[in-house]
Amino acid sequence: MNMPANKQTYPASGDQDATPAAIDGAQVAIGDGFSAQSFRARDVGSAMDPLVLVDHYVMTEPTFGTHPHAGLSAVSLILEDSEGRFHNRDSLGNDFDLLPGDLYWLKAGRGAIHNESPRQGARTHGLQVFVNVGQALRFDAPESLLVRRRDMPLIQTDAHRVRVAMGRSNGVIGAEAPGLPMTILDGELGALGEFRHVLPAGHNAWVHAIDNAIDVANAQHRTRLKPGQAIAINNASGSASDSVHVMGDNRRNSRFVIFAGQAVQEPFVQQGPFVMGSIEEINTATNAYNAGEFGAIA
């Protein structure tokens, strides 16, 4: 396989005190079956840490084929308004369909093969996220976790309904991410509804407006997000907890997603589906993949 040539090195820090602002992703379309708003750490900066990439996408046809991953975790959150089934296979022996509301976490470690695509007639609406894992975990054995929608605990009031897809919030505990701790919340606010998530010191948060507008605030700032926009809230260098406060539009219900996790704060290099500590390690991973060392999908 010829890997993409756009090697990028991203610093662990450098914009720690930047005022958070609404972020517009780049519009991406591949064929007639895939469209996305794509957000990348090279554009956002260290406040996105530990996330490397977020694609907010709709897929109706197979698009990417069988592909490798190494040195990162690839996370698929299927949003509840998806239609039909999303077929997931990988070199760990997994072969199953993701349903609306499900989550799949693939910790690629030293290398894994992955393939996912909508079944015939399906419309998959979701978030595809690359999570950095830090140098100490980069060469672990691959592992995975499937979390079904029915197994995600709810935080529910008259003002909000939030699924704890992973991690913990407001005393409610969901599944534990392989490797790097991560909280993933898939929420809906009623008109004028609001929700708060405590962000521990050393953690950052990525808040994504899925359909309608929301306001997002922490101790210092309040920002309006239009549909499809996101914001990175940086508490990596903080010595105390912060609070991520999400507030709904006063005219209609609003959906949002929060990814919150401990910042890795290490430089890394991304090349396509590989994230490593250096270009030399990228080359080593590419050679291992070409030699068949990542395994295969049965």
Buried b (16+ CB within 10 A) or exposed e, 223-236: bebeeebbbbbbbb
Tell me whether residue 42 is in a domain. Answer: yes
| pLDDT score at 2 | 38
- Can you tell me which residue has the tokens 């239009």? 226
| pLDDT score at 8 | 61
| Distance from C-alpha of 111 to C-alpha of 77, rounded to nearest angstrom | 21
pLDDT digits 0-9 by tens, 169-204 = 999 999 999 978 899 999 999 988 999 999 999 999
Tell me whether residue 130 is in a domain. Answer: yes
Tell me whether residue 152 is in a domain. Answer: yes
CB atoms within 10 A of CB 296: 9
Tell me whether residue 270 is in a domain. Answer: yes
Name 158's Cβ contacts closer than 8 Å, sequence gap at least 6.
190, 193
| pLDDT score at 237 | 82
The structural domain count of the chain equals 1
Domain that holds residue 129: 20-290
Read off the DSSP letter of residue 18: P
| pLDDT score at 252 | 85
| pLDDT score at 7 | 58
Tell me whether residue 297 is in a domain. Answer: no
Tell me whether residue 199 is in a domain. Answer: yes
Tell me whether residue 9 is in a domain. Answer: no
Strand order across the beta sheet in which 95-98 lies: 67-69, 112-118, 86-90, 95-98
Mean of all residue pLDDT scores within the chain? 92
Tell me whether residue 164 is in a domain. Answer: yes
Would you say 106 and 91 are in contact if contact means Cβ atoms under 8 Å apart? no
Residues of the chain with pLDDT under 50: 1-6, 13-17
Give the CATH number of the domain where residue 271 resides: 2.60.120.10
Give this prediction's pTM. Answer: 0.94
**β 160-166/124-132 pair status:** unpaired
Six-digit token string for 171: 């005393």
Question: Measured in whole angstroms, how far is the alpha carbon of residue 284 from the centre of its chain?
Answer: 26
pLDDT digits 0-9 by tens, 227-251 = 999 999 999 888 889 999 999 987 7
